[in-house]
Chains A and B, each alone.
Chain A
Amino acid sequence: MVQEIKKSVCYFCKGYCPVLVITENGRLTSVEDDPSDPGLNTIFPRTKGCIRRRAAKEFMYHPDRVHFPLKRAGERGEGKWERISWEQVFDEITKRLQGIKDRYGAEAVAGVKGTFRNKSFQTRFFMLFGSPNSTTAGKICYGPLFAVSNAMFGWSGGRYSFPGGHRVVGGVIPKCIFLTGTDPLESWPRVANIVRESKKAGGKLVAVDPRETWLTKQADIWLQLRPGTDTALFMSMIHVIIEEGFCDTDFVEKWCYGFDKLAERAREYPPEKVAGITWVPADKIREAARMLGQKKPFYTWNGMGTEQLHNSIQAIHARFILAAITGSIDVEGGTYVGRPGKMRGIDDTCATEKLPPEQRRKQLGADRFRFTSFPGYELIAENTMRVHGRMPPGEPTATASPHQPTIYRAMITGQPYPVKGLIVHAHNPMVVQANTKLVYKALKSLDLSVVMDYWLTPTAELADYVLPVASWLERPDFMGDYGGEQALPSCIPGECDHKNDFEIFRGLGTRLGQDWPWESLEEVFDYCLEPGGMTFKQFLKRENQGVPVIRYKNYEKTGFATTTGKAELYSTILEKLGYDPLPQYEEPPETPVSKPELAEEYPLILITGGRFRPLFHSEWRQIESIRRLHPYPLAQVHRETAQGLGIHDGDWIWIESPRGRIRMKCQHYEGIDRRVVHCQHGWWYPELPGEEPWLHGVWESNVNVLTDDDPDRCNPMTGGWPLRTALCKIYKMKQY
């Protein structure tokens, strides 16, 4: 019996914990936390207590996992599959991709990708293929945060913007924290730890959330706002800070651009007026602004609650303005902006520059949503190249990406041009993309649909090819400042034959004559590490991995990498793109205020996307040990609202929006406003049949049946679709 212990990086959530993988004869025995990891105690809840980690073996060897490449054997969606070899996969798919390219142009092939389950080589493939239409969920998931930070500050710390860098090893505990639309206990273990440490050390916490969560319970001030009104709230706080003299005058004068215009704009948001918009009392708005003003510098971060608003860019812009005018940017205890590191990242293998300008101009949705597509990206890149000699941080598939709702519409209508092929990469648009009914029609209309996944998801069930992907356990990993070995073989003859996304895209790319100079992921990592004079193997042997070098106030050396060299409160990039350069609150498209007549039929405000353990997005529903802990979808409704409708705690109810209806179990919850309903996201039922019309129960409880993705209702700058405001009604499900 050969027992081995490998260091690896767990991808089961956004914690990316370093872990030890224990194997026996090449088979997984268990996954443990890594006591030698210097960041072990920077994660809360601790890796040790993680239920998902404990389910690793169940995940790895689950009988439903896709272990070999599959080709559709019946009609699309009929649930009939034939096992084929990788050789056949590569030959057939490349032939069909080339066929579409020859007939319709490269832009007729699109790519969509989910939250990280792989490294991201999709971008390189598409850039070299010549299609501008490769994207991620980035428009609604940190694409906005990256893009706004890049535009305002010329760089973005991203994950590293957590105080003291990625982890708090020897770092600074912030004295004050301002978090909006996030509940880190459920979603960001590293941020949750910071909150805990800060609170223990007597720090202050201001939390913005329409629902009561673990975080709001820790908060000194909880602002329970009306969903979708964050921009108004933040602008009002800015107003108070300016009016009451809490600005960091030095920083503002020396390093901020457009303060006067900001002050003028902020005057439109007096707390008394904003209280009417946000449901947050004026006193509380003042109190929160004063706390931030008095305790500055403060650390700030936002979750999806803010990213997925109709007003996302404006809200994040306003949040960063709050940080900037209080001098909370790039200082100890503040939000780290950072600068490019020495090493390269996967972003540096994307070959964005290889996509010809005429193809860039064809990017779907980029003419309308210019900020996080090529037009905005290129403007930002001019600055970062000039100052840092590097392309902007953040994956181009998030910050220079086409607009998914526009892509799906092009598939259906052929306008502005046909989209005939799609590569889906660890993504489940039938569940996690808004407006499922439209997505369904689009996917059904394709000539070629390739899905790379672990499971036959509802999306995979509609594919022509399903390719089994290697998980983090079966590939090496490099996270920039730490990494891991490959713990398990990705191929065991007769048992499984997985490939990682690098191998798959390289396999397709090389057959299409593309340039893929590296033969394996290790070689890619060697390339990334080259500037540090290290190979990946050497890097892995290094002690004290994952302690990044933090250098504050980098702007004093180089200036901000923006057009003006300053932190742009007034964004010249937004201005150049034809947008309002300052945040301005707009009522979301579907609220009782903007649509009073619709609200007569659908009187409640629907929000969704609040994270809940132990599930993660649309994953884990087939893992027994996990699912048993959370067997069904929950809709949180205030007890009084529910009782008024004759709905008991635990009753199944219908939730109906103008777009459709789904059923969930009603949870009486007093931590939500009486006028608001929160539905969990990501629900499908792997235990239901895969063939149509079942599609693993994708129509049963999938909240995206209810959400909208109409481009007219998307954020005008990014095209992000509004997942956090819709109107709905609820009623009891009739059961005999």
Chain B
Amino acid sequence: MAQETKRVVCEYCKGYCRVVAYTENSRLIKAEEDRSYPLVDQIFPPTKACVKLRAAKEIMYHPDRVNFPLKRAGSKGEGKWKQISWKEAFGEIAEKIRGIKDKHGAEAIAGTKGTFRTRNFMPRFFNLLGSPNSSGQGKICAGPISEVGAAMFGWPLGRRGYMDGKPKSVFLVGANPAVAWPRVWEPVREMKKSGGMLIVIDCRRTETAALADLWLQPRPGTDIALLLSMAQVIIEEKLYAREFVEKWCYGFDKLAERAREYPPEKIAEITWVSADKIREAARMLAKHSPHYSWNGMGIEQQQGTIDALQARFILAAITGSIDVEGGNYLPGPGKIRGISQIDANDRLSPEQKRRQLGAERFRFTSLPGFDLILENTKRVWGRPHQEQTMGASAHQPTLYRAMLTGHPYPVRGMITLAHNPMVTQANTKLVYKAIKSLDLYVVLDYWLTPSAELADYVLPAASGWERPFLAGNYGGEQAVPSSIPGEYDHKTDFEIFRELGIRLEQEKDWPWKDLEEVYDYWLEPVGMSFREFMDKGGYVSRPAEFKKYERMGFATPSGKAELYSTIFEKLGYDPLPKYEEAFETPISRPDLAKEYPLMLITGGRFNPLFHSEFRQIDSLRRRHPDPLVQVHPETAKSLGINDGDWVWIESPRGRIKMKCQYFDGIYEQVAHCEHGWWFPELPGEEPWLHGVWESNVNVLMDDDPDHCNEKSGGWPLRTALCKIYKVKQYSQTNGRDDYKNKISQTRRQFIEPESD
């Protein structure tokens, strides 16, 4: 019996913990924390406590996993599949892509991608194919933070940079690292222990907010106003870092002028945060700077996301918290190459770039803005700052509309890479129609998700255990084979795009035969092969260098930290942040609020589930079997809803049902719905689609381009109107109740009045 241990990077959440995988005869037996990984103790909760990791074997060998390429055997959505070989799959898909390209142009093929479950070779394939329409979740997930950072400071602010110094305070906006970011949460705990301040902005009293020294609870969607008002206090009270501002900031005066429009007294009304508290927060932040600041999806997914991020970064800049010890580190490029250097962005012709869907309207996180930033980052750093699907993706709502209407041009084919748009894309009803209208839909996934159920081809993806990993400065080995004859035959996205590419005249452009060769290429600048890198521990530390701007300036058009963004200006947008009421609130739509009086927010993370994953994993699902909506007890009681009742949540776009959870850490006017819900245990064929219509919050959310962020096109997941009411039930669907008594009672009632 061959036993092996391998060092692997776990991809079950955003922690990317390094773990040790134990295998026997090429089968995964268990996975444990890797104590040899230098940063292992900077993760909290610790890797060893992770229930997802403990479920690794269950996930890897789950009977529902897609193990071979599947081809649709019935009509679309009928749940009938035929197993085919990879050769057939590649041949047929490539032919169909060629057919669409010949008929409608390469731009008629789109790509979507979820949060990392695969490496990301999609942009390379699409750029070489000639289509500008590959997209990721970047518009609502870390794309904004990356691109605003790059526009203002010439590089995205680092996630882990502050670990190189001790911040005096941590400022978190719409983030709950206690649940979602184990690598952020441990340093926060450290900082607290050493007497630092934790300031949290969140409209819910999250696990993180509960531990804050100061918690500001704004009305959902008003973060920009709150942040600008804090800037106003800091400027007015001259609490800012004068030297850094004068020497290294661009546009301070114009900012000061803008900030004057946001006095705390006025903003208190907008945000529901008292003027005193705004002042207190501003003073605390200024006093305890340099500070480390971080935001979560709470602001990335707002309608005003770009302005909110800009305002947050302005606070970091004017308090002198940029690229200093204990502040927000600007890492710059490492020596090791990454995906952004092989995305073949430059191979896409300018005229095809101009055809990117949504780029004309949402210019900032699409190719126009991306290319403007690239000019600077390439000039100063010699490297792109970001990969294309994060920083410059096509606009998904526009893509889906093009599929449906053929405008501005037809989109007839789509490849979905480890993504589940039927669950995680806003406005599910529209997404559904769009996907159903396609001529070709290919899904690469582990499971037959609701999206995969609508596909023509479902390709079984290799998971993190079945491929090597390299990102930034650390990596992991492949623990188990991705193919065991007769048992399963998975492939990585690299292999899939390479094989498709080879069949579509991209042969010369895929010089690497496998992922390890790609990694060898990435590691070339440090003079190591991937094997050597892993033999040396699979991790290289990068010594921090602070205040790099003093040496090379900021990689921006002005060479300074641009509070006033010349890139925004060039793209035709307001160069400074500005608060605007979101499209669907009781203030912007008082008419609608009469019928839908509550504000709906969604997306707060909850363990042990992750996005739309793990619903089929018994050991995890049993810990969280039902979707929950958090409602303030007073609100719920006034509607006759008990804790634990099933309720309908209805928005102007549809309704879903969830279990009501009494939660007094939320405003009485706000309801929070969990995201990512589908029910793998329900049938896959239509109309079930694994219960995608039951409790999927995106049925309620809007993606109308008119309501998206005007710069990025991000769709507003954090503000909508809704109402809730109790689900009428004649009996519990679970539990065996007394139906026999009911039948005999019926019989008695019918027959008894008769006297014989």
Query: Contact residues of A with B, CB < 8 Å?
Result: 44-46, 48-51, 613-614, 627-632, 634, 648-652, 654, 660-661, 665, 667, 687, 689, 691, 693-694, 699, 733-736
| Min distance, Cβ B621 to any Cβ of chain A, angstroms | 5
Whether B749 and A51, one on each chain, are in contact in the complex, defined by CB atoms closer than 8 angstroms, is yes
Chain A residues whose C-beta falls within 8 Å of the C-beta of B746 in the assembled complex: 51, 613-614, 629-630
Of residues 428 through 464 on chain B, the ones whose CB sits less than 8 Å from some CB of chain A are none
Q: Known pairs A46-B753, A651-B736. 4 more at Cβ < 8 A? A: A48-B753, A613-B746, A634-B739, A736-B626
Whether A650 and B749, one on each chain, are in contact in the complex, defined by CB atoms closer than 8 angstroms, is no
- Decide: A689 near B731, CB < 8 A? Known: A44-B754, A45-B750, A734-B681: no
Chain A residues whose C-beta falls within 8 Å of the C-beta of B681 in the assembled complex: 733-736
Give the docked Cα–Cα distance between A734 and B622 (Å). 12
Asked whether any CB of chain A lies closer than 8 Å to the CB of B1, the reply is no
Whether B745 and A649, one on each chain, are in contact in the complex, defined by CB atoms closer than 8 angstroms, is no
Q: Binary interface profile of B, 633-666, with partner A (CB < 8 Å = 1, else 0)?
A: 0000000000000001000001100000000000
Whether A632 and B754, one on each chain, are in contact in the complex, defined by CB atoms closer than 8 angstroms, is no
Give the docked Cα–Cα distance between A632 and B733 (Å). 9
Whether A50 and B739, one on each chain, are in contact in the complex, defined by CB atoms closer than 8 angstroms, is no
Whether B734 and A630, one on each chain, are in contact in the complex, defined by CB atoms closer than 8 angstroms, is no
Give the docked Cα–Cα distance between A627 and B626 (Å). 26
Q: Which residue of B lies closest to A615 (CB)?
A: B746
Give the docked Cα–Cα distance between A663 and B746 (Å). 23
Asked whether any CB of chain A lies closer than 8 Å to the CB of B687, the reply is yes
Asked whether any CB of chain A lies closer than 8 Å to the CB of B272, the reply is no
> Given B625, B683, B747, which contacts A661 in the complex, CB threshold below 8 Å?
B683
Chain B residues whose C-beta falls within 8 Å of the C-beta of A631 in the assembled complex: 730-731, 739, 742
Q: Which residue of A lies closest to B738 (CB)?
A: A650
Q: Name, among A631, A691, A733, the residue most crowded by chain B CB atoms within 10 Å (CB to CB).
A: A631
Give the docked Cα–Cα distance between A231 and B222 (Å). 75
Whether A660 and B685, one on each chain, are in contact in the complex, defined by CB atoms closer than 8 angstroms, is yes
Whether A45 and B754, one on each chain, are in contact in the complex, defined by CB atoms closer than 8 angstroms, is yes
Whether A49 and B750, one on each chain, are in contact in the complex, defined by CB atoms closer than 8 angstroms, is yes
Give the docked Cα–Cα distance between A628 and B737 (Å). 13
Chain A residues whose C-beta falls within 8 Å of the C-beta of B622 in the assembled complex: 736
| Min distance, Cβ A398 to any Cβ of chain B, angstroms | 29
Asked whether any CB of chain A lies closer than 8 Å to the CB of B688, the reply is yes
Q: Can you report 7 A-B residue pairs in the complex whose CB atoms are below 8 A from each other? A: A46-B754, A628-B730, A628-B742, A631-B742, A687-B727, A687-B729, A734-B681
Give the docked Cα–Cα distance between A735 and B687 (Å). 19
Whether A699 and B687, one on each chain, are in contact in the complex, defined by CB atoms closer than 8 angstroms, is yes
Whether B753 and A632, one on each chain, are in contact in the complex, defined by CB atoms closer than 8 angstroms, is no
> Given A693, A733, A736, which contacts B687 in the complex, CB threshold below 8 Å?
A693
| Min distance, Cβ B657 to any Cβ of chain A, angstroms | 9
Chain A residues whose C-beta falls within 8 Å of the C-beta of B621 in the assembled complex: 736
Asked whether any CB of chain A lies closer than 8 Å to the CB of B2, the reply is no
Q: Which residue of B lies closest to A624 (CB)?
A: B730
Q: Which residue of B lies closest to A705 (CB)?
A: B687
Asked whether any CB of chain A lies closer than 8 Å to the CB of B487, the reply is no
Chain A residues whose C-beta falls within 8 Å of the C-beta of B752 in the assembled complex: 49
Chain A residues whose C-beta falls within 8 Å of the C-beta of B740 in the assembled complex: 649, 667
Whether A699 and B750, one on each chain, are in contact in the complex, defined by CB atoms closer than 8 angstroms, is no
Q: Binary interface profile of B, 698-737, with partner A (CB < 8 Å = 1, else 0)?
A: 0000000000000000000000000000011111011011
Asked whether any CB of chain A lies closer than 8 Å to the CB of B364, the reply is no
| Min distance, Cβ B68 to any Cβ of chain A, angstroms | 20
> Given A613, A634, A687, A699, which contacts B728 in the complex, CB threshold below 8 Å?
A687
Whether A693 and B736, one on each chain, are in contact in the complex, defined by CB atoms closer than 8 angstroms, is no
Chain A residues whose C-beta falls within 8 Å of the C-beta of B753 in the assembled complex: 46, 48-49
- Decide: A689 near B751, CB < 8 A? Known: A651-B736, A652-B733, A660-B685: no
> Given A44, A51, A627, A650, which contacts B739 in the complex, CB threshold below 8 Å?
A650
Closest 6 CB pairs of A and B: A650-B736, A631-B730, A736-B625, A49-B753, A687-B728, A734-B681
Whether A629 and B687, one on each chain, are in contact in the complex, defined by CB atoms closer than 8 angstroms, is no
Asked whether any CB of chain A lies closer than 8 Å to the CB of B526, the reply is no
Which DSSP category, helix, strand, loop or mixed, fits chain A's interface?
Answer: loop
Query: Contact residues of B with A, CB < 8 Å?
Result: 621-622, 625-626, 648, 654-655, 681, 683, 685, 687-688, 693, 727-731, 733-734, 736-737, 739-740, 742-743, 745-747, 749-754
Whether B733 and A613, one on each chain, are in contact in the complex, defined by CB atoms closer than 8 angstroms, is no
Chain A residues whose C-beta falls within 8 Å of the C-beta of B648 in the assembled complex: 689
Whether B749 and A629, one on each chain, are in contact in the complex, defined by CB atoms closer than 8 angstroms, is yes
- Decide: A735 near B730, CB < 8 A? Known: A614-B746, A630-B743, A650-B739: no
Q: Which residue of A lies closest to B727 (CB)?
A: A687
Chain B residues whose C-beta falls within 8 Å of the C-beta of A736 in the assembled complex: 621-622, 625-626, 681
Give the docked Cα–Cα distance between A632 and B734 (Å). 12
- Decide: A699 near B737, CB < 8 A? Known: A45-B754, A49-B751, A613-B746: no
Q: Which residue of A lies closest to B735 (CB)?
A: A650
Whether B739 and A49, one on each chain, are in contact in the complex, defined by CB atoms closer than 8 angstroms, is no
| Min distance, Cβ A570 to any Cβ of chain B, angstroms | 44
| Min distance, Cβ A183 to any Cβ of chain B, angstroms | 12
| Min distance, Cβ B157 to any Cβ of chain A, angstroms | 40
Whether B754 and A693, one on each chain, are in contact in the complex, defined by CB atoms closer than 8 angstroms, is no
Chain B residues whose C-beta falls within 8 Å of the C-beta of A652 in the assembled complex: 733-734
- Decide: A48 near B739, CB < 8 A? Known: A629-B749, A689-B655, A693-B693: no
Q: Which residue of A lies closest to B746 (CB)?
A: A629
Whether B750 and A649, one on each chain, are in contact in the complex, defined by CB atoms closer than 8 angstroms, is no
Chain B residues whose C-beta falls within 8 Å of the C-beta of A693 in the assembled complex: 687, 693
| Min distance, Cβ B705 to any Cβ of chain A, angstroms | 20
Chain A residues whose C-beta falls within 8 Å of the C-beta of B733 in the assembled complex: 632, 652, 735
Whether B731 and A51, one on each chain, are in contact in the complex, defined by CB atoms closer than 8 angstroms, is no
Whether A629 and B742, one on each chain, are in contact in the complex, defined by CB atoms closer than 8 angstroms, is yes
Give the docked Cα–Cα distance between A667 and B739 (Å). 9
Chain B residues whose C-beta falls within 8 Å of the C-beta of A651 in the assembled complex: 736
Whether B730 and A687, one on each chain, are in contact in the complex, defined by CB atoms closer than 8 angstroms, is yes
Q: Which residue of B lies closest to A189 (CB)?
A: B750
Chain B residues whose C-beta falls within 8 Å of the C-beta of A630 in the assembled complex: 742-743, 746
Whether A691 and B731, one on each chain, are in contact in the complex, defined by CB atoms closer than 8 angstroms, is no
Give the docked Cα–Cα distance between A45 and B688 (Å). 41
Whether A49 and B625, one on each chain, are in contact in the complex, defined by CB atoms closer than 8 angstroms, is no
Chain B residues whose C-beta falls within 8 Å of the C-beta of A687 in the assembled complex: 727-730
Chain A residues whose C-beta falls within 8 Å of the C-beta of B743 in the assembled complex: 630
| Min distance, Cβ B622 to any Cβ of chain A, angstroms | 6
Q: Which residue of B lies closest to A51 (CB)?
A: B749
Give the docked Cα–Cα distance between A736 and B427 (Å). 27
Give the docked Cα–Cα distance between A51 and B749 (Å). 7
Whether B693 and A694, one on each chain, are in contact in the complex, defined by CB atoms closer than 8 angstroms, is yes
Q: Which residue of B lies closest to A196 (CB)?
A: B756
Chain B residues whose C-beta falls within 8 Å of the C-beta of A661 in the assembled complex: 683
| Min distance, Cβ B405 to any Cβ of chain A, angstroms | 15
Whether A632 and B749, one on each chain, are in contact in the complex, defined by CB atoms closer than 8 angstroms, is no
- Decide: A627 near B730, CB < 8 A? Known: A661-B683, A691-B654: yes
Give the docked Cα–Cα distance between A736 and B615 (Å). 10
| Min distance, Cβ A13 to any Cβ of chain B, angstroms | 11
Q: Which residue of B lies closest to A52 (CB)?
A: B750
Chain A residues whose C-beta falls within 8 Å of the C-beta of B751 in the assembled complex: 45, 49
Chain A residues whose C-beta falls within 8 Å of the C-beta of B730 in the assembled complex: 627-628, 631-632, 687
Give the docked Cα–Cα distance between A46 and B728 (Å). 32
Chain A residues whose C-beta falls within 8 Å of the C-beta of B736 in the assembled complex: 648-651
Q: Which residue of A lies closest to B737 (CB)?
A: A650
- Decide: A51 near B750, CB < 8 A? Known: A632-B730, A648-B736, A734-B681: yes
Q: Which residue of A lies closest to B754 (CB)?
A: A46
Give the docked Cα–Cα distance between A596 and B753 (Å). 50
Give the docked Cα–Cα distance between A46 and B752 (Å). 9
| Min distance, Cβ A45 to any Cβ of chain B, angstroms | 5
Chain B residues whose C-beta falls within 8 Å of the C-beta of A735 in the assembled complex: 681, 733-734
Whether B734 and A665, one on each chain, are in contact in the complex, defined by CB atoms closer than 8 angstroms, is no
Give the docked Cα–Cα distance between A314 and B528 (Å). 84
> Given B688, B739, B750, which contacts A665 in the complex, CB threshold below 8 Å?
B739
Chain B residues whose C-beta falls within 8 Å of the C-beta of A689 in the assembled complex: 648, 655
Whether B734 and A613, one on each chain, are in contact in the complex, defined by CB atoms closer than 8 angstroms, is no
- Decide: A632 near B728, CB < 8 A? Known: A45-B750, A49-B751: no
Chain A residues whose C-beta falls within 8 Å of the C-beta of B654 in the assembled complex: 691
Whether A50 and B687, one on each chain, are in contact in the complex, defined by CB atoms closer than 8 angstroms, is no
